[in-house]
Amino acid sequence: MTQPTGRISTRRLALLLGEWRAGGSRGLAAGVRGLVLDGQLPPGTALPAERELAAALGVSRTLVASAWDRLRAGGFAASRRGSGTWTTLPHGPGAVPELAEQPIDLARAAPAALPGVGSAFDRVRDRFAPELADHGYHETGHPELRVRLAERFTARGLPTAPDEVLVTSGAQHAFALVLRTLTGPGDRVLLDQPAYPNTIDAIRAAHAVPVPVPLPETGWDLVGTEAVLRQSAPRLAYLLVDFHNPTGRRLDAAGRERLGAILRRTRTPAVVDETLVELDLGDDPAAGPQPMACAAPGQVITVGSASKSHWGGLRIGWVRAPADVIRRLVSVRPAFDLGSSVFDQLVVADLLADPEPLLAARRDQLRVRRDALVAAVREHRPDWRFTVPPGGQSLWCALPGPISTRLAVGAQRVGVRLVPGSRFGVHGGLENWLRLPYTLTPPVLTTAVRRLAAVAAQLSSEEPDSPGDDLVPVV
């Protein structure tokens, strides 16, 4: 048997349950089950003791015990003497695996769905029937979502009309459309290095040539960026200035003005990836700099998605660009797909109707997880250097030697999946660096760092391992 991995207070559970009393023990069990399915009580959440919850709710302990029996029978709870009762999901293991036995995936910087996403599915389901009478194809995106996205850009300081928005099946799909539209075989595409590996792969898949500009220890090398733009004359630039993946850094307002001026002088169109823009972990996210498109109107094509802010299973992204560019993108889209999921678009539109509460919850969650990872690395590997990022989802750690690939290989033996630093380089290298996402829960992150610390401690006395031929998928 196993132990739970989290806990909810009695008071918090009583507040979340809302109105359930008319159904007695059945109603209480249904209320908890709904919270599990909505993600507000993730699998492994320890439930309050029966006597304690009964007192808080003003009911008998027998009623609570009966509700817990119903949950266990339905696969939504598991118990062990001395450890209490915790939430599970049906049609799977009846208990939460021990952290020491559970593979830990640090290759994907992608958190689970926010509590509240499930509720949006329910709300949309109630009004989805009229959509079934239509053909379901929206090559530019569902009108409701395009309006919501335009409103969000406008609220952030970038006035946008719905016809300047194209809905895609994720930000990666959006970037692929732009590459197909604006570049051809052999064209050069500028990007910062280290770079998001899927960006490198997308450029090469379009038969274009990635041209890296190395990032300095802090900030951006804007002088080097301008030099490369003038010397290499790339057809397109790809920029991630809001919580850069993997470094987590952000370009300030003055830097955006300088970069915008460089783009205008060199007449270089740029894709600015805002996938992580909503994950500002500072005290006042609303005080952040304006979108990069404000600094180079007409030249910046903005892409984004709901994957990092809400859930990766919502395969919805978007492009924000001048209307004529949107029309060009739509003209090449049939070679990729004929439109995005209508249901998922309506879910994202619902989530964006009042976005701040859920986004604030995501930021709070990531802030706690970031701080837990920072503390664990400082305790167990104080020789790994990093700058605490102001946002995003990962630490970019400088290792004491070129061991990143060897560490990733050794980590697999202790149940941790890593992406070696070389995957973030256009031509490899970066063996002194490692990305550590903080999208998992604090106990899991702490366990992962302990395992990695043990592997790292052994590397100095071992012969180098072969990394093998398999590429680790990166998110």
Chain segment 223-265, per-residue pLDDT in tens:
999 999 999 999 999 999 999 999 999 999 999 999 999 999 9
Residues 6+ apart with CB under 8 A from 432: 398, 399, 401, 402, 403, 404, 421
Please state the rounded mean pLDDT for residues 342-360.
95
CA angle at residue 391 from 118 to 202, to 5 degrees? 80
What mean pLDDT do residues 90-111 have?
Answer: 65
> Residue 162 corresponds to which tokens in the numbers above?
């719905």
* pLDDT band for position 100 (cuts 50, 70, 90): very low
Distance CA 106, CA 448 (A): 8
Domains and CATH numbers, the chain: 6-97 (1.10.10.10), 104-113+358-459 (3.90.1150.10), 117-354 (3.40.640.10)
Task: For residue 11, count other CB atoms closer than 10 A to its CB.
Answer: 10
CA distance 111 to 441: 9
Judge whether residue 452 has pLDDT over 90: yes
Tell me: the pLDDT tens digits for 429-444? 999 999 999 999 999 9
What is the per-residue pLDDT for 15?
Answer: 82
What's the pLDDT score for residue 463? 47
pTM of the model as a whole = 0.78
Report CA 5 to chain centroid distance, whole Å.
22
| pLDDT of amino acid 10 | 87
Average pLDDT score, the chain: 90
If one compares 378 and 41, the residue with the highest pLDDT of the two is 378
Q: What pLDDT is stored for residue 79 in this prediction?
A: 87
User: Would you place residue 464 in the very low, low, confident or very high pLDDT band (cuts 50, 70, 90)?
Assistant: very low
7 pLDDT band, cuts 50/70/90, is: confident
Q: Which residues contact 19 (CB under 8 A, 6 or more apart)?
A: none
Measured between its terminal Cα atoms, the distance across the chain in Å is 32
* Statement: residue 462 has pLDDT above 70: no
Most confident region among 20-24, 81-85, 297-301 by mean pLDDT: 297-301
User: What pLDDT digit, counting tens, does each position of 29-73 carry?
Assistant: 888 887 776 667 777 888 999 889 989 888 999 989 998 998 988
CA distances from residue 165 to 234, 323, 388 in whole angstroms, order as listed: 25, 8, 34
